[in-house]
């Protein structure tokens, strides 16, 4: 557990629907990223409240309002989130590309703890280095758990009626997106599909598909929480 001061089994989740307001994200005609991810976030919140009432849910935006990236990260820290889930939709210059993508932090500041044998020796003399090592350990835990959570979503989606057909296109990746790079807890950014792919975009705006996406995310979150309870 990253936050030892929290009561046992409390689990705080931040859901972050990307973009909002004048920032529509990716769009093609009536297929608009900021609207699609808001609807999925709503459905996810409702399903989680029903199936996992012990999870405290916070959402970075619940309407079409623009929220700066740093405020989204701030909310996650203020609420001492155990898990941060950002929702986005993708676009590509190729109309053929489709599928889900799960991103976790690229950790540009690679842990010195893992690289340097000397750091443990120097640490005895320097509070700054002790602090650096502590932060590296947090980053290491974050990276490991973010990957773990990504795999859980991928698995849940591969078992889903819709996801099963397209599971070969679902990929786990690393990228320095602001929200997953700057949060200190396990954080994953999910690209739910490609707006630039007509077939996928048409599915993404349907209630049924959004509900199935929310369902797969719910399963992954509940799995992840249960593992962190142990
Ligand atoms: Zn986006």
The three-state (H, E, C) secondary structure of the chain, written as one string: CCCCCCCCCCEEEEEEECCECCECCCEECCEEHHHHHHHHHHHHHHHHHHHCCCEEEEECCCCCCCCCHHHHHHHHHHCCCCEEEEEEEECCCCCCCCCCEEEECCCCCCCHHHHCCHHHHHHCCCHHHHHHHHHHHHHHHHHHHHHHHHHHHHHHHHCCHHHHHCHHHCEEEECCCHHHHHCCCCEEEEEEEECCCHHHHHHHCCHHHHHHHHHHHHHHHHHHHHHHHC
- CA 214 to ligand 1 center in whole angstroms: 17
Check residue 179 and give its pLDDT.
96
- CA 4 to ligand 1 center in whole angstroms: 33
Check residue 30 and give its pLDDT.
92
More confident site: 217 or 170: 217
Check residue 170 and give its pLDDT.
86
Check residue 107 and give its pLDDT.
74
Q: What pTM does this model have?
A: 0.87
Check residue 114 and give its pLDDT.
43
* 1-15 confidence digits (pLDDT tens): 555 554 556 899 999
Evaluate if residue 120 carries a pLDDT over 70: no
Percentage of the chain exceeding pLDDT 70: 87
- CA 12 to ligand 1 center in whole angstroms: 23
Check residue 117 and give its pLDDT.
47
Check residue 131 and give its pLDDT.
78
Evaluate if residue 83 carries a pLDDT over 50: yes
Mean pLDDT across 36-61: 97
Task: Give the confidence band of 163 by pLDDT, cuts at 50, 70, 90.
Answer: confident
- CA 72 to ligand 1 center in whole angstroms: 14
- CA 118 to ligand 1 center in whole angstroms: 41
The answer to whether 203 and 193 are in contact (CB under 8 A) is yes
- CA 189 to ligand 1 center in whole angstroms: 9
- CA 196 to ligand 1 center in whole angstroms: 13
- CA 67 to ligand 1 center in whole angstroms: 13
- CA 203 to ligand 1 center in whole angstroms: 17
More confident site: 127 or 108: 127
Mean pLDDT rounded to a whole number for the chain: 88
- CA 103 to ligand 1 center in whole angstroms: 12
């Amino acid at each position: 557990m990253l936050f030892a001061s929290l009561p046992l089994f409390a689990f705080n989740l931040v859901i972050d629907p990307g973009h909002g307001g004048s920032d529509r994200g990716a769009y093609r005609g009536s297929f608009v990223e900021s609207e699609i991810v808001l609807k999925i976030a709503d459905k996810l919140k409702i399903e989680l409240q029903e199936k996992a009432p012990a999870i405290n849910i916070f959402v970075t935006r619940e309407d079409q309002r623009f929220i700066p990236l740093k405020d989204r990260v701030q909310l996650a820290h203020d609420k001492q989130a155990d898990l941060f889930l950002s929702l986005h939709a993708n676009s590509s210059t190729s109309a053929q590309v489709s599928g889900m993508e799960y991103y976790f932090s690229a950790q540009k500041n690679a842990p010195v703890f893992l690289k340097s044998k000397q750091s443990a020796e120097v640490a005895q003399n320097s509070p700054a280095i002790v602090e650096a090592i502590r932060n590296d350990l947090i980053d290491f835990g974050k990276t490991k758990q973010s990957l773990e959570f990504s795999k859980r979503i991928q698995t849940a989606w591969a078992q889903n009626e819709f996801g099963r057909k397209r599971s070969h296109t679902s990929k786990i990746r690393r990228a320095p997106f602001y929200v997953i790079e700057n949060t200190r807890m396990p954080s994953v950014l999910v690209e739910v599909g490609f707006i630039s792919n007509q077939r996928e975009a048409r599915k993404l705006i349907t209630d049924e598909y959004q509900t199935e996406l929310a369902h797969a995310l719910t399963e992954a979150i509940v799995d992840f929480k249960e593992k962190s309870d142990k």
